[in-house]
Structures are given as structure tokens and as C-alpha cells.
Amino acid sequence: MARDGKKGIIAEFAEFINRGNVMDLAVGVIIGGAFTAVVNSLVSNVIQPLISFLTGGTKGVPGLSIDLNGSVVDFSVFISAIINFLITAAAVFAIVKALNELNRIRDIAAEKAGLAKKAEEDAKPAPRLCPYCKQEIAGNATRCPHCTSKLEGYKNSAE
């Protein structure tokens, strides 16, 4: 500790780094980078060659560029980028959809094996409602605090 009672910069930095959310973010970035490499490989090494084979290997649409005093505006490159984006998005969608299905199957198997609690068991009971004003009331209430109606179990010898 520093002389004035405050944490030193090294201690603050160590505390910051060891926080769970910073570590989660770091893991997410690393996994995201690796996943990007997998998706890029899938698109460039599997999907695009198949599309190129099916379309006869054309790499762009001729005649979609404009020459402006030596600067070329090439719309076919832009269209190609859009198509690559859509292919990549479709590949990511398919991968995520498959992973979600695997997780669903795993959850069903765990539930059948008795390893997971059912949602009904985990759910808290529905709140008790006053039959007259439909406001939420305590489970052991005998009068509604909102409309003062007498509820089931109400007993008052003075009345």
C-alpha cells in the first residue's frame, strides 16, 4: 500500500486484470479470432470454390467499372464483397444453428437422464391475486391491502 492509504498503481492494475469480466472479454476475443479463421477458411476454401465451379469460374462481372481520369470505380468488386459477406453470414448462421441444436439435444438428454431440473421445478409459484381488484397480495393475507376486501381465511370477532 502507498503511504497515503491508497492502493498502488500495480495493485490496482492486478485487481483490474483479475476481475472476471476482463478475463471473460479476453477469452471472448481469443475465441472470436479463432472462430474468424475457421469461418474464413470455410468460405474461401470450401464454399467459394464450389460456387466458382458451379458458375464456370467467373471472378467478376465485366463492364461494371467506370474510369474517372485514371481512378477506377469498380462496382463488381463491391458486389463481390457483398456476396462474400452474405456467404460468410450464411456460414456463421449454419454453424450457430448447428451448435444451438447440439445444445438443445444435450439438454434433452440431460433432462431424460435426470441430470437437469425441469423448468417447472425451478419456477417460483405464481403470485396470489386478490379476486376482487386483481392486485398482488401476500400469500398469507386475509384482507387485500389495496381494496380491503375480505379474503379466504378472514376472521374478526368484532364484526
- CA dihedral sign, ordered 62, 68, 72, 74: negative
pLDDT for 3 equals 54
Q: Among candidates 101, 111, 100, 90, which has minimal Cα distance to 42?
A: 90
List the one residue out of 39, 52, 109, 99 whose CA is nearest residue 80: 52
Question: How crowded is residue 61: how many other Cβ atoms within 10 Å of its Cβ?
Answer: 13
pTM equals: 0.43
User: What pLDDT is attached to residue 97?
Assistant: 92
Q: 147 with 132: CB under 8 angstroms?
A: yes
Whether residue 8 contacts residue 1, with contact meaning beta carbons closer than 8 Å, is answered with yes
pLDDT tens readout for residues 24-44: 787 788 888 888 888 778 777
pLDDT on residue 105: 93
pLDDT under 70: residue ranges of the chain: 1-6, 20, 55, 57-63, 115-124, 157-159
**Which one-letter amino acid corresponds to residue 92?**
V
pLDDT of residue 101: 95
The count of other CB atoms within 10 Å of the CB of residue 91 is 17
Cα gap 146→133, rounded to integer Å: 8
